[in-house]
Amino acid sequence: MPSETTTVMENGLSDEQELEHGRRRALAAKHRFMWGLVVPSLLVLLVFEIYPVILAAWTSLHKVTIYDPGRPFVGLQNYIRLFTDSHFFNTVLPNTFIFTIAGLAVETVLGISVAMLLNRRFRSESIVTTLLLFPMMVAPSIAAILFAWMFNSQFGIVDVALEAIGLPAISWLSGRWTAMFVIVISDVWLWTPWFTILLLAALKVQPPSPVEAAKIDGANAWQVFWHVTLPYLSPVLTICMLIRTFDLFRQFDQTWVITTGGPARSTEFFSIYAYKEVFEYTNYGSGNAAALMGALVMLIFGLIMYRTFARLTGGTKKAT
Partner 1 sequence: MAEEIIVKGQLKLYGWRRALWFTGIVLVCFFFVFPIFWLILTALRPESEVFYVHRGTHFTLDNFIRAFDAHQFKEAMFNSAVLATLGTCLSIGITLQSGYMLGRFRGKLRNTWFGLIYIMRTIPYITWGLPLYAMTQYLGIYDTYWGVLGPHLAVHVAFFSLVMKGFFENITASSEEAALVDGCSHWGVYFRIAVPQVLPGIFALSLICWLWTWNELLFAMLLTSADTPLLTVTIVQFVNEIGMEWNLMAGSAIIALIPAILITVFGQKYITKGLYM
Q: How far is the CB of 51 from partner 1 (least distance, A)?
A: 8
| 101-160 residues near partner 1, rule: CB under 8 A | 114, 117-118, 120-121, 126, 128-143, 145-150, 152, 154-155, 157, 160
* Closest to partner 1 by CB, 221 or 230: 221
State how far the Cα of 229 lies from the Cα of 210, in Å rounded to an integer: 9
State how far the Cα of 89 lies from the Cα of 95, in Å rounded to an integer: 10
Stretch that binds partner 1, among 11-19, 67-75, 81-89, 252-260 (CB under 8 A): 252-260
Contact map string, positions 258 to 277, toward partner 1, x by CB under 8 A:
------------xx--xx--
Q: How far is the CB of 309 from partner 1 (least distance, A)?
A: 6
Q: How far is the CB of 171 from partner 1 (least distance, A)?
A: 15
| 181-210 residues near partner 1, rule: CB under 8 A | 189, 193-194, 197-198, 201, 208
| 208-237 residues near partner 1, rule: CB under 8 A | 208
| 4-33 residues near partner 1, rule: CB under 8 A | 6, 29-31, 33
CA distances from 159 to 143, 174, 180, 183, 196 (A): 18, 14, 17, 16, 29
DSSP 178: H
Name, in order, each residue with C-beta under 8 angstroms of 107's C-beta and a sequence gap of 6 or more: 187, 188, 191, 192, 195, 244
| 30-69 residues near partner 1, rule: CB under 8 A | 30-31, 33-38, 40-42, 44-45, 47-53, 55-56, 59
* Closest to partner 1 by CB, 13 or 110: 110
Q: How far is the CB of 174 from partner 1 (least distance, A)?
A: 16
Q: How far is the CB of 47 from partner 1 (least distance, A)?
A: 7
* Closest to partner 1 by CB, 50 or 264: 50
CA distances from 292 to 132, 180, 230, 299 (A): 35, 24, 36, 10
Give one word for 168, left, alpha or beta, with left for phi > 0 and alpha for psi -120 to 50: beta
DSSP 168: P
Name, in order, each residue with C-beta under 8 angstroms of 105's C-beta and a sequence gap of 6 or more: none
* Closest to partner 1 by CB, 19 or 146: 146
Give the residue, chosen from 105, 213, 243, 264, that forms a contact with partner 1 under the rule CB under 8 A.
243
Q: How far is the CB of 15 from partner 1 (least distance, A)?
A: 21
CA distances from 68 to 62, 71, 72, 279, 283 (A): 12, 6, 9, 17, 13
H or E element in which residue 62 lies: none
Instruction: Compute how many residues bind partner 1; rule: CB under 8 A.
Output: 103
State how far the Cα of 31 lies from the Cα of 25, in Å rounded to an integer: 10
* Closest to partner 1 by CB, 152 or 178: 152
Give the residue, chosen from 93, 104, 249, 261, that forms a contact with partner 1 under the rule CB under 8 A.
249
For residues 73 and 61, the answer to whether their CB atoms sit within 8 Å is yes
